[in-house]
Amino acid sequence: MSTPDPVVVEHCVSFVRIWAETVLRQVKRVRLMRATFHRDHRNYERLEDWSPTETDLERNFRALWAEEHTLVWAAHQLEKWAQRLARERRQPSPERDATLAGVRNALEHLEDADFDEFHALAGEKSNRSLRGLPGSRIPITLGGELSFGLIDSRELEERALAIVRSIEDEMEQHALARYLAWRDEEEKEARALRRLSGDAVQDE
């Protein structure tokens, strides 16, 4: 088995970190937008002069949809790069999240889906990715705790946080190893200088 290429591994670590940090940021954005979505919906039902309008609710829906879609995409990218990093390091690949992959694929090809009032559906010839999801459908309504009825943002956050911490620990270990190697070299040079100085004194 060939040894890992350190340059390739370094790039993979960088991309893993990029997408792990993106997932963490995106989870926060989704939570904030969900809170706005629910707050404005409750206030809309109060029918006060200051209550949000239907236009506001529609705008919130569009924003929340985009934020949740972006979270799914970022989590999928993190999974793909974590698998690539494991391959480059000749390590076992992380377990694949089939539900995440299915939702991501279904969203990517959503323009090919059939629709009813609340769901995107797998038709006879359209969006084959939907057929692998429960009921061969995905909800197009939002506001629940699960993104698209299937993805738990807390689980995505926990995975990303564990990866970020692992990379940071690894970087600290590498930094310590570099420092110890530098210190050893400094001590060797100092001993060599002391020997040279001793020899010079003896020659005098």
Structure confidence by residue, pLDDT tens digits, 34-63: 999 999 999 989 889 889 999 999 999 999
C-alpha gyration radius of the chain: 27
Confidence of residue 131 (pLDDT cuts 50, 70, 90): confident
Burial of 65 (0-12, 13-18, 19+ CB in 10 A): middle
Q: List, in order of start, the domains of the chain with CATH numbers.
A: 6-203 (1.20.1050)
Task: Give the residue from 73, 77, 93, 80 showing the smallest Cα distance to 29.
Answer: 73
Please give the model's pTM, rounded to 2 decimal places.
0.81
Q: Tokens 């088995």: give the residue.
A: 1
Alpha helices in 47-97 (DSSP H): 54-88
Which residues does 75 contact at the CB level (< 8 Å), separation at least 6? 19, 23, 97, 100, 104, 151, 156, 159, 160
Q: For residue 186, give Cα distances in angstroms to 106, 191, 193, 204.
A: 58, 9, 11, 27
Per-residue model confidence as pLDDT tens digits over 86-125: 999 999 988 889 999 999 999 998 888 889 999 999 877 6
Dihedral sign from CA coordinates of 69, 25, 63, 46: positive
Tell me how far the alpha carbon of residue 165 is from its chain's centroid: 13
